[in-house]
């Protein structure tokens, strides 16, 4: 791999808190049922006038502040989103415009939950050519829920938000050591959304596949670098469901507290969730050592990235 470093993360969550009680009333379920099947207690929903690019820019600004840089430093911007409105251009154009960048290349990754992981891996390979690369995962999942009748099994899960990461060839806080990415399209209909009909999720297939593929990808990248899962100080995963996070910890034989979780407060924010988790984790003065980033999402696409504190 090219030499690349993670410098800082950023996050933005809309102000409006949507509790389980509010959602349960609309779905005919109970707040306790929602928490028992997902671990989620509340999520954030953006205002109607707020778009994916707005959420992305707010996370970018937080990342700039933490990294001590300004937007013009960037050589490339990558924006992952599975909930951006259909058509073109995608939100990346809006992001660079709102950041005041003229001529800085930017592109979209129209991927849901695994989008920011794929963005990080791409960025780690592009820093020598483009310098500082900003990776953003931004989602307005409430727009998906508003686009069609609410399905209790999916409406309970999703929240809005954005996360960002600055990747550079300049030395930074975490060196990226290795990464693995995988895709398998045979289950593409088991988790899908096309704006013409409600989001489809075959929960049995999704959980069965994710509970195998997440630990498998993590073990694959760790084995390549000769690092044991027990020596990893933090696992920063896509925040899909608390029960899934616990299952991944169990499969890896690591204490569940090593798997960072904020899903109770934000729900599943799809591609944004892993970077929002990283932003919160990095604020807590984390212990030095190896760190795993991992995600699984619609497609299916999944993988893992290994970094080491410098």
Partner 1 sequence: MADSTRRQRLLGILKTITDKPIPADDEESLFESGLLDSFALPDLVSALEAEFAIKVPDRDLNPRKFDSIARIETYLEEHGA
Which of 50/216 has CB closer to partner 1?
Answer: 216
Compute CA 69 distance to the chain's CA centroid, rounded to the nearest angstrom. 22
3-state class of 192 per DSSP? strand
Which of 110/152 has CB closer to partner 1?
Answer: 152
The count of chain residues that interact with partner 1, using the rule CB under 8 A, is 16
In the complex, the smallest distance separating the C-beta of residue 18 from partner 1, rounded to whole angstroms, is 23
Which of 244/259 has CB closer to partner 1?
Answer: 244
Contact 25/78 with Cβ under 8 angstroms? Answer: no
**Contacts to partner 1 from residues 45-64, by CB under 8 A:** none
Interacting residues of 39 by C-beta distance below 8 A, sequence separation 6+: 241, 242, 243, 245, 261, 263, 264
**Contacts to partner 1 from residues 233-252, by CB under 8 A:** 243-244, 247
- Block residue for tokens 């415009």: 97
The contact pattern for partner 1, residues 120-159, with x = CB under 8 A and - = no contact, is ----------------------------------------
CB atoms within 10 A of CB 181: 17
Q: How far is CA 173 from CA 134, 184, 238, 252, 266, in A?
A: 15, 33, 21, 25, 26
Give all strands (DSSP E) within the chain, no chain letters.
5-12, 17-19, 42-44, 74-80, 106-109, 132-140, 160-168, 174-183, 191-192, 200-201, 234-237, 290-297, 301-309
In the complex, the smallest distance separating the C-beta of residue 40 from partner 1, rounded to whole angstroms, is 15
**Contacts to partner 1 from residues 187-226, by CB under 8 A:** 202-209, 211-213
In the complex, the smallest distance separating the C-beta of residue 267 from partner 1, rounded to whole angstroms, is 17
The answer to whether 186 contacts partner 1 (rule: CB under 8 A) is yes
Residue from 32, 70, 146, 184 touching partner 1 (CB under 8 A): that is: 184
Which of 81/241 has CB closer to partner 1?
Answer: 241
Residue 261 phi/psi, 5-degree rounding, is -140, 130
Contact 79/109 with Cβ under 8 angstroms? Answer: yes
Which of 211/308 has CB closer to partner 1?
Answer: 211
In the complex, the smallest distance separating the C-beta of residue 197 from partner 1, rounded to whole angstroms, is 22
In the complex, the smallest distance separating the C-beta of residue 89 from partner 1, rounded to whole angstroms, is 36
Length of the chain: 310
Which of 38/273 has CB closer to partner 1?
Answer: 38
In the complex, the smallest distance separating the C-beta of residue 66 from partner 1, rounded to whole angstroms, is 36
Which of 165/252 has CB closer to partner 1?
Answer: 252
> Distance (Å, rounded) from C-alpha 123 to C-alpha 116?
10
Which of 44/247 has CB closer to partner 1?
Answer: 247
Residues lying near partner 1 in the complex (CB under 8 A): 184, 186, 202-209, 211-213, 243-244, 247
């Amino acid at each position: 791999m090219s030499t690349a470093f993670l410098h800082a993360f950023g996050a933005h969550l809309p102000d409006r808190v949507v509790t389980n009680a509010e959602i349960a009333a609309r779905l005919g379920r109970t707040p306790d049922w929602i928490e028992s099947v997902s671990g989620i207690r509340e999520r954030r929903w953006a205002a109607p006038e707020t778009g994916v690019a707005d959420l992305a820019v707010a996370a970018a600004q937080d990342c700039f502040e933490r990294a001590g840089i300004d937007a013009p430093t960037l050589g490339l911007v990558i924006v992952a989103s599975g909930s951006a409105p259909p058509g073109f251009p995608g939100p990346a154009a809006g992001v660079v415009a709102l950041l005041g960048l003229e001529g800085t290349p930017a592109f979209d990754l129209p991927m849901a939950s695994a989008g920011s992981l794929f963005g990080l891996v791409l960025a780690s390979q592009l820093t020598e050519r483009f310098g500082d690369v900003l990776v953003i995962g931004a989602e307005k999942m409430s727009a998906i829920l508003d686009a069609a009748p609410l399905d209790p099994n999916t409406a309970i899960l999703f929240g809005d938000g954005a996360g960002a990461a600055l990747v550079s060839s300049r030395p930074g806080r975490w060196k990226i050591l290795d990464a693995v990415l995988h895709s398998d399209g045979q289950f593409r209909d088991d988790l899908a959304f096309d704006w013409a009909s409600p989001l489809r999720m075959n929960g049995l297939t999704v959980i069965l596949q994710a509970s195998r593929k997440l630990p498998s990808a993590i073990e694959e990248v760790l084995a390549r670098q000769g690092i044991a899962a027990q020596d990893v100080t933090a696992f920063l995963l896509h925040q899909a469901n608390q029960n899934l996070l616990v299952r991944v910890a169990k499969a890896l034989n690591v204490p569940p507290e090593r798997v960072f979780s904020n899903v109770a407060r934000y729900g599943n924010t799809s591609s944004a969730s892993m970077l929002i988790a990283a932003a919160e984790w990095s604020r807590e003065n984390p212990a030095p050592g190896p760190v795993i980033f991992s995600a699984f999402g619609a497609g299916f696409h999944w993988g893992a990235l290994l970094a080491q504190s410098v």
